[in-house]
Amino acid sequence: MNKGLLVNKPSKYKPLLQLATIAILLSFATRLVLLLTAGKHMNASFINIISGFFIGFTFDLLVSLFIILPFAIQISFTNNFIYTPKGKWIAIGVFIILLGIFLFTSLVPKDFNRDLYKAAICYFIFRFAIFIFLYTRSLSFRLRWRTVVLKIFFFITIFLLVFNAVSEWFFWDEFSSRYNFIAVDYLIYTNEVVGNIQESYPIASIIAGVAVVALTIFLLIRKSIGLSVRTPLRFSKRIIVLSALLIGIAALNFIIKPDWKNFSSNNYVNELAGNGMYEFVQAFKNNKLDFYTYYQTLPDSTAFHILRQSLTDSNSSFVSNDIFDIERQISYTGPEKKMNVVLISVESLSASFMQAFGDKNNITPSLDTLARKGMFFTNLYASGTRTVRGLEALSLSIPPPPGQSIVKRPGNENLFSLGSVFKDKGYTTQYIYGGYGYFDNMNYFFAHNGYEVVDRTALKADEIHYANIWGVADEDLFTLALREMDNNYALNKPFFSHVMTVSNHRPFTYPDGRIDIPPTSQTRDGAVKYTDYSIGQFIKQASQKPWFGNTIFIVVADHCASSAGKQALPVTGYHIPMIIYSPGNIAPQEISSLTAQIDIAPTLLGLLNFSYKTKFFGQDILHTAPEKQRAFLSTYQGLGFLKHDTLVVQSPVKKIMTYQPDFTTGDAREIEGDTALTREAIAYYQVISWLIKHKKYGALE
């Protein structure tokens, strides 16, 4: 071999140190930009901000070591011995053994991922082909080959690091958070998400800008990569370096805890202290949170006893003395009203959008009019921050379990639902959605829990005036809904139709010529006003139908447009409106009772005077004493219980905090906890977790 091609002075691992430094500096720059973006909303002390940066550095360091680990392995195990005659036979032998393991299916576990199996075979074949190719080439060629390959992967990594920094800014801009469960979900539904990004942002310009920045950074370190390839280092020393890196990663991973970032009462500062990539991995790992593992608990019998007491009211009675059974008989005086019901859940409709709550932009004129003509709920709170949480609350009437929504969990079939109650009463029950219902597992969930699912596939191409990646424009959705309702009426059966809108969602596009805000503006106000317009048109068209006079219309949000705030669970980020409208049947009135989103189903059934058996956790708010009124607010990990102007928040690991929230600003002051209130908060979340875990929230037989 021509050893003159090799050099001795430069460090073999210098590029790894440079790459780790780049990762840390980009994380620091991202944190600084996010701080400036938050601006006055941050409202944190200098010490808090500095502490956030210091804690963030520990996460950045750990992530940077993980980033360079593949390169360290590659550099440590790449040498020229394999290309000697003796090394060749060792390489061939290892290849045959590994390939044999994957080729003989009898040695592959039955539950082994077959795609991974195929990928592994392709990888070993590819690696062997490269080995044969390089074996016949000179040392100088092999060195050039390694240099080019290493440079390509270094550039890709730098590009992804820069791209991630930009992505974090966009994510923060929309959600005021580091990557979380939403980002994990977005990986699953790539069609909608990628389409949404393409329609919302100038992707070509962003990628071009990222590429320029990444190339500039890469050019600064490219020489050290080539020198690293040509720097000889004994195999034993390479193993020592690699082992030290592995030990360092293991030690830091053990020492650093995910909840380190939650050091402040200011949620903005906590999010600033995090690292996007680290938070993404944690969100992926904690997609399902076992309540009994991560939260404070009571003896199960105690939790059920507290809940049964809370659910006791004048028009209900438990069907069993079994402490672990919450099934009740609900009874009302007077005849049942077999009226049609249209439940419209509106995407991202914050209460603050309406004039009644102080908005001055007149973006909900139709809803404001309906609010004056119907039963208007002014103190209602959403269960969560995602559509699936709203759908879960509206259909199942349960507190939001930690982790992923029931709508998206496996084994969510045949649950006790609002649809099943209506179906037992002889109703035609439907879930009508303007997008493709496979998104968020909606088709499967509703189809297996008492609903017929109708989505955009029921529309012909000429029936769609406008559509974006999320679905058809809301006016086309309501055209579909009216057609289905007419068909249902023709069956001479009452119907319950749950209609889910999509237009009030980024990229905030809609048909032109409907409202005074042009769709080219792509603003939230425009999307809200267009959805409001569509609802107004729907009500106007429905009023001409023969079934209108015997129909109750409910308009309610699935969640707010934003839940950002200094607090992890700002009450203003969960405040949503609801209007129950039925001219001649329901008198105009304002309901200021504290109401949870899970109370909507039993309240509706109460308006219909239905007598039925229930497992709902919600209560008929029109027949609930003020001292029993409460609401539930949640993120994927934070579980809030709002009662008597006091908010109890449970979070991992077994933490419970009590706050007095400001219902105007969303801020909250930590106060001393009330034992009885804390136990009630635990009981609600513990019981629903127990029922789900033991499959006891099933439909009634």
The predicted pLDDT at position 111 comes to 43
Kindly report, as residue ranges, where domains of CATH 3.40.720.10 are found in the chain: 326-626
Average pLDDT over residues 68-89: 72
The average pLDDT across 649-663 equals 90
Distance from C-alpha of 347 to C-alpha of 504, rounded to nearest angstrom: 6
Q: What is the pLDDT of residue 182?
A: 65
pLDDT recorded at residue 675: 94
Q: What is the DSSP letter of 674?
A: P
pLDDT attached to residue 95: 63
- Reported as a pLDDT band with limits 50, 70 and 90, residue 586 is very high
pLDDT band (50, 70, 90) for residue 64: very high
Lowest mean pLDDT among 65-69, 140-144, 453-457: 140-144
Strand partners, 376: 579, 590
**pLDDT value for 325:** 95
Q: Which CATH class is domain 326-626?
A: alpha beta
Considering only residues 381 and 194, tell me which one the structure prediction assigns the higher pLDDT.
Answer: 381
The reported pLDDT for the residue numbered 113 is: 47
How many Cα neighbours within 13 Å face the side chain of 277? Answer: 21
Q: Please compute, for residue 104, the number of CA atoms within 13 A of its CA located in the half-sphere on the CB side.
A: 7
**C-beta of residue 336 within 8 angstroms of C-beta of residue 608:** yes
Answer yes or no: is pLDDT of 571 > 90. yes
What does the block give as tokens for 453? 């699912």
Using one digit for the tens of pLDDT, what is the confidence trace for 617-636? 999 999 999 999 999 999 88
Q: d(Cα 228, Cα 153) in Å, to the nearest integer?
A: 14
Name the pTM for this structure: 0.74
* CA–CA dist 255, 115 (Å, integer): 35
Which of 572 and 130 is assigned the larger pLDDT?
572
The pLDDT of residue 99 is 63
Query: Could you tell me if 528 and 504 are in contact, meaning their C-beta atoms sit under 8 angstroms apart?
Result: yes
Structure tokens given for 230: 């040509």
Please report, rounded to a whole number, the percentage of residues in the chain having pLDDT higher than 90. Answer: 57
The pLDDT value given to residue 288? 67
Q: Are strands 551-557 and 340-346 parallel, antiparallel or unpaired?
A: parallel
Single out the residue of 262, 285, 284 nearest to residue 274, CA to CA.
262
Tens-place pLDDT, residues 197-247: 666 678 888 899 999 999 999 999 999 988 888 888 887 888 899 899 999
Radius of gyration of the chain (CA): 29
The number of beta carbons lying within 10 Å of the beta carbon of residue 482 is 18
Q: Which stretches within 256-330 are classed as H helix? A: 267-273, 276-285, 291-294, 300-311
